[in-house]
Amino acid sequence: MIEVRQLAKRFGEVEAVAGVDLSIPRGEIFGIVGPDGAGKTTTLRMLAGLVDGDSGTITIAGRDVRTNPDAVRDRIGYMAQKFGLYGDLTVEENMDFYADLFGVERVTLEPLKLKLLAMTRMTPFRARQAAKLSGGMKQKLALMCTLLHAPEVLLLDEPTNGVDPVSRRDFWLILEELVRGGMTLLVTTAYLDEAERCHRVALMHRGKLIRVGTPAELKAQTPGECYEVEAADVRGLRAQLQGAPGVLSVKPAGASLHVFLRSGALPPIGGGEWRRIEPALEDVFVSVIEGANEH
């Protein structure tokens, strides 16, 4: 459903997107994870046809974004990082506004609205002003507005940013339901627990996808061994371990540390209790990005 070849975009000196390839089949949830400034938003904006790339090609549902932008726009739903809801309009009025914008016919709109409100469990709030919704509910409303023209592909830019954990889980249950219905989903997130819910994940860094695979593949590919380390003085131990021989990365994890050691390296003596663990995606990404920053 999404085919991207060698996509690139530069802003002056900044190579925001530096040769991205993507191939996403129908029904997949594909996640892009990466630090601020990695190029996630610029990538999505190019896919949505809002910004022209400098080079490369983008095909969505078989249509070229550059030569056939209208056909692509009909088939995608793009939810921007700062989606424009109207605070003084109610939930339902916001939906009507976006339906008009996309030229959705009244006859299809009414049943669709009911369906979306039920799916997101927003029916009781349909008459509430958007400004008075919680963060999680605002994001659900933005998602509904994005779905009104029945897109086949959803591009969601950090849709759960700043939303509480319970609402984030709620939001993901909705996304999973959409995908079961045949939707294809490209989502960016800063939350690694969400990346674990994607079928495949790409790690983006400085405009490039430096790792792509299923969460399990990414964990298996990462060189080195992951340990959880407990110590009385975690901060002191962290300072001591950073840059020590054999240590690939050190990351605080609650009251302990997660440490990647080069394969075969032994835990340094003299500090803390070391326990070998299965790395989480977050450990993998910290390790990969710290490795990439060394070059």
Ligand X SMILES: Nc1ncnc2c1ncn2[C@@H]1O[C@H](COP(=O)(O)OP(=O)(O)O)[C@@H](O)[C@H]1O
Which residue, 50, 27, 53, 17, is CA-closest to 206?
17
Given the DSSP bridges, would you call strands 208-213 and 225-230 parallel, antiparallel or unpaired? unpaired
State yes or no: residue 41 binds Mg ion (CB under 5 A). yes
Q: Which stretch binds ligand X (CB under 6 A): 40-48, 52-60, 195-203, 251-259?
A: 40-48
Q: How far is the CB of 270 from ligand X (least distance, A)?
A: 39
Of these partners, ligand X, Mg ion, none, which one is at the site of residue 133 (CB under 5 to 8 Å by kind)? none
- Which residue number, 36 or 88, has a Cβ lying nearer to Mg ion? 36
State yes or no: residue 42 binds Mg ion (CB under 5 A). no
Task: Say how many CA atoms lie within 13 Å of 98 toward its Cβ.
Answer: 25
Q: Which stretch binds ligand X (CB under 6 A): 9-17, 168-176, 264-272, 274-282?
A: 9-17
Task: Say how many CA atoms lie within 13 Å of 230 toward its Cβ.
Answer: 6
State yes or no: residue 189 binds Mg ion (CB under 5 A). no
State yes or no: residue 38 binds ligand X (CB under 6 A). yes
- Which residue number, 89 or 210, has a Cβ lying nearer to ligand X? 210
Q: How far is the CB of 160 from ligand X (least distance, A)?
A: 15
- Which residue number, 41 or 287, has a Cβ lying nearer to Mg ion? 41
Q: Which stretch binds ligand X (CB under 6 A): 33-41, 86-94, 139-147, 272-280?
A: 33-41
The CA distance from 242 to 255, in Å, is 17
Phi, psi dihedrals of residue 109, rounded to the nearest 5°: -65, -50
Structure token pair of residue 104: 């959705």
Give the total of residues touching ligand X (CB under 6 A): 11
- Which residue number, 36 or 105, has a Cβ lying nearer to ligand X? 36
Shortest Cβ contact with Mg ion: which residue?
41
> Reduced to 3 states, what is the DSSP secondary structure of residue 256?
strand
Length, in residues, of the chain: 295
Q: Exposure pattern of 239-266 as b/e (b: 16+ CB <10 Å)?
A: ebbeeeebbbbbbebeebbbbbbeeeee
- Which residue number, 33 or 95, has a Cβ lying nearer to Mg ion? 33
Phi, psi dihedrals of residue 21, rounded to the nearest 5°: -115, 135
In this structure, what DSSP letter does residue 130 have? G
Helix (H) or strand (E) holding 220: helix 215-221
State yes or no: residue 42 binds ligand X (CB under 6 A). yes
Of these partners, Mg ion, ligand X, none, which one is at the site of residue 38 (CB under 5 to 8 Å by kind)? ligand X
Q: How far is the CB of 158 from Mg ion (least distance, A)?
A: 6
Of these partners, Mg ion, ligand X, none, which one is at the site of residue 256 (CB under 5 to 8 Å by kind)? none
- Which residue number, 68 or 81, has a Cβ lying nearer to ligand X? 81
Position among 29, 30, 34, 272 found at the interface with ligand X (CB under 6 A): 34
The CA distance from 203 to 38, in Å, is 9
CB atoms within 10 A of CB 168: 21
Site residues for ligand X per CB under 6 A: 11, 14, 16, 34, 36-42
State the residues that interact with Mg ion by CB under 5 A.
Answer: 40-41
